[in-house]
Structure 1
């Protein structure tokens, strides 16, 4: 089925939908991972976006229940050079097309993804509309320009849990108290959390209670956790309401570990500012340097905004930088037990180089006992 991909700069590309009819608006971005498309699709950080895979063949190993990073697929469209309709993997329980249809995500193939990636790299991530229904190029470009975009929007409100839950027996379970058995009690703020973050915390001996994004600091402190975890999430950190104040109220009272949007929200709580990157960092091959050890990590990333290091107070130290563009990838507070990274140490998808950061969080909690 013919589909048009219209960008706000007037670019229009022609592809094919392999998921049927539909129309979607969002911010169009690219991801450089060669595999891990199921983890990408189920990452809530992609809410409001349309993801183009730079690797040309997608769908060849199908979909399985073990690789879910949340309960749903979050991008508004998924684009690739060539869709592989017949999966070949012993773990596969379904096809990518069926999975996308289940969650209302447009699947688009049959166009030059390299050309689209070059456009995004040159001009930046853009608002776009994809449609099989409206095939007027002028109409679609106008729709793309009129879409509200991500800047200033509270996208966390669309993905955060409505009520607390625990991570028990390898999955989410209803509950408002910490599950028994862990060495450490951790409250995890859900800004769009990925399951593998919870899996690793549990593997490290933590009893985890996941709470809504706007849970007051007083409620968290009343639970008397050993530490507080700030998850990843979608969109513009400056657009998220009712979160920074709670994080600020927790500083110095409990060890804090933030990832991705959690890192950005922590930066705002320190008194810093954030800005939008030209086309963001998305993929499983981003080089990051640990300034404390001199080691280089290959990391999994997915973000379009960044903390401005020049805006941070003297009490905050930059610990990691991106070797491609020099942007801030990690920071720690010099006085309080709080640190964070922009990238995804839970490796879903991506390499395992940065898993040590969970051990650092465990060490902070041990030191506070």
Structure 2
């Protein structure tokens, strides 16, 4: 079935649907990872986005339930150069086609993904529409221009959990049902978190207690946590004024660790501002320099916004920078026991260079008494 991709600037790309049919809109972006398509699909940070993979062959290892990073698929559509339906993987339980169709997500192949990537790198990420039902170029371009985009949108409310839960033994359980009280309790503010963040906290002896993003600070403190973890998530960080107020109210009362959107939220809570990047950082090969150690880390990233270094108060230390464009990749406030990184140290998919940050968070919780 023929599919047409129309960008708001009038650029068109043709392909054919390998999964599903219909029409969807979103911001079109590209990801440079060579593997990990299932983790990308189930990353809530991709809500509202049409994801194009630069790696040319996709689907050859199928999908595995254990590799899901959340409950569902969050991308608006999935665009690849070539789809392989005959997967080979002893862990796989289904094909990528069946997986996308089960979640009602449109998959498109035989697209010049290199041309899309080059165009976005020059012109910037932009609104787009993908359709198998309306193949009129003028109609689709008009729809793309009318679509809302990401700026100013609070998408966290669409992906956060609806009620609190605990993470124990690699799965979600009812509050109080974890069957253990030992270890550090971490209040996790779910802005669209990935499961591997919970897995890595639990592997370090922590007891993650997950709360919806709209939870008031007093309710988080009522859980008597040793620390606050602010997760990744989708949309414009500047639209999350309520979550920013919550994190600001918690500063100095518990150690705080933020990842990706959580980093942008912490930056705003400390007095900084965020801005939209031209085409964002998405992939598993982003070089980041740790300014405190001088070491370079290869990181997994997925973000279209960044913290403005010049807007941060003098007492906030920039700890990491992106070596491609010098954007802020990490901050720290020493007296408030708060730190964050823009990239994804939990990998899934991606390199493991930055897992030490979870160890740093545990050490900080052990050092700082509950205030």
The TM-score range, normalised by the shorter chain, is: over 0.9
Which residues in structure 2 correspond to 1:3-42 (within 5 Å)? 3-42=3-42
Check conservation: 1:166, 1:179, Cα contact below 8 A.
no
Q: For residues 194 and 184 of structure 2, what CA distance do their matches in structure 1 show?
A: 20
Aligned length: 369
The equivalent residue for 1:82 is: 82
Which residues in structure 2 correspond to 1:182-331 (within 5 Å)? 182-331=182-331
Deviation at 1:178?
6.9
The equivalent residue for 1:44 is: 44
Q: TM-score scaled by structure 2?
A: 0.98
The equivalent residue for 2:129 is: 129
Q: TM-score scaled by structure 1?
A: 0.99
Deviation at 1:62?
0.1
Distance 1:73 1:182, change over 3 A: farther
Q: For residues 63 and 189 of structure 2, what CA distance do their matches in structure 1 show?
A: 28
The equivalent residue for 1:365 is: 365
SS of 2:242's partner is: coil
Distance 1:90 1:308, change over 3 A: same
Q: For residues 120 and 324 of structure 2, what CA distance do their matches in structure 1 show?
A: 16
Check conservation: 2:20, 2:105, Cα contact below 8 A.
no
Check conservation: 1:134, 1:140, Cα contact below 8 A.
yes
The equivalent residue for 2:66 is: 66
Deviation at 1:85?
0.5
Deviation at 1:19?
1.2
Q: For residues 4 and 260 of structure 1, what CA distance do their matches in structure 2 show?
A: 32
Q: Deviations over 1:286-322 (max 9, x none)?
A: 0000000000000000000000010000110000000
Alignment pair present for 1:338 and 2:345: no
The equivalent residue for 1:110 is: 110
The gaps in structure 2 that reach 5 residues or longer are none
The equivalent residue for 2:154 is: 154
Check conservation: 1:24, 1:76, Cα contact below 8 A.
yes
Q: For residues 77 and 335 of structure 1, what CA distance do their matches in structure 2 show?
A: 44
SS of 2:19's partner is: coil
Check conservation: 1:34, 1:55, Cα contact below 8 A.
yes
Q: For residues 310 and 175 of structure 2, what CA distance do their matches in structure 1 show?
A: 41
Check conservation: 1:178, 1:208, Cα contact below 8 A.
no
Q: Deviations over 1:51-94 (max 9, x none)?
A: 00000000000000111100100001000000001110101100
Deviation at 1:239?
1.1
Q: Deviations over 1:308-366 (max 9, x none)?
A: 01000011000000000000000000311000000000011000000000000001011
The gaps in structure 1 that reach 5 residues or longer are none
Q: Deviations over 1:213-232 (max 9, x none)?
A: 01111111122110000000
Check conservation: 1:179, 1:207, Cα contact below 8 A.
no
The equivalent residue for 1:140 is: 140
SS of 2:127's partner is: strand
Q: For residues 20 and 251 of structure 2, what CA distance do their matches in structure 1 show?
A: 49
CA RMSD after TM alignment: 1.0
Check conservation: 1:299, 1:344, Cα contact below 8 A.
yes
SS of 1:242's partner is: helix
SS of 1:281's partner is: strand
Which residues in structure 2 correspond to 1:154-173 (within 5 Å)? 154-173=154-173
Q: For residues 272 and 210 of structure 2, what CA distance do their matches in structure 1 show?
A: 26
Deviation at 1:174?
2.1
Check conservation: 2:20, 2:104, Cα contact below 8 A.
no
Q: For residues 179 and 224 of structure 1, what CA distance do their matches in structure 2 show?
A: 17
Q: For residues 6 and 327 of structure 2, what CA distance do their matches in structure 1 show?
A: 30
Q: For residues 126 and 179 of structure 2, what CA distance do their matches in structure 1 show?
A: 43
SS of 1:118's partner is: helix
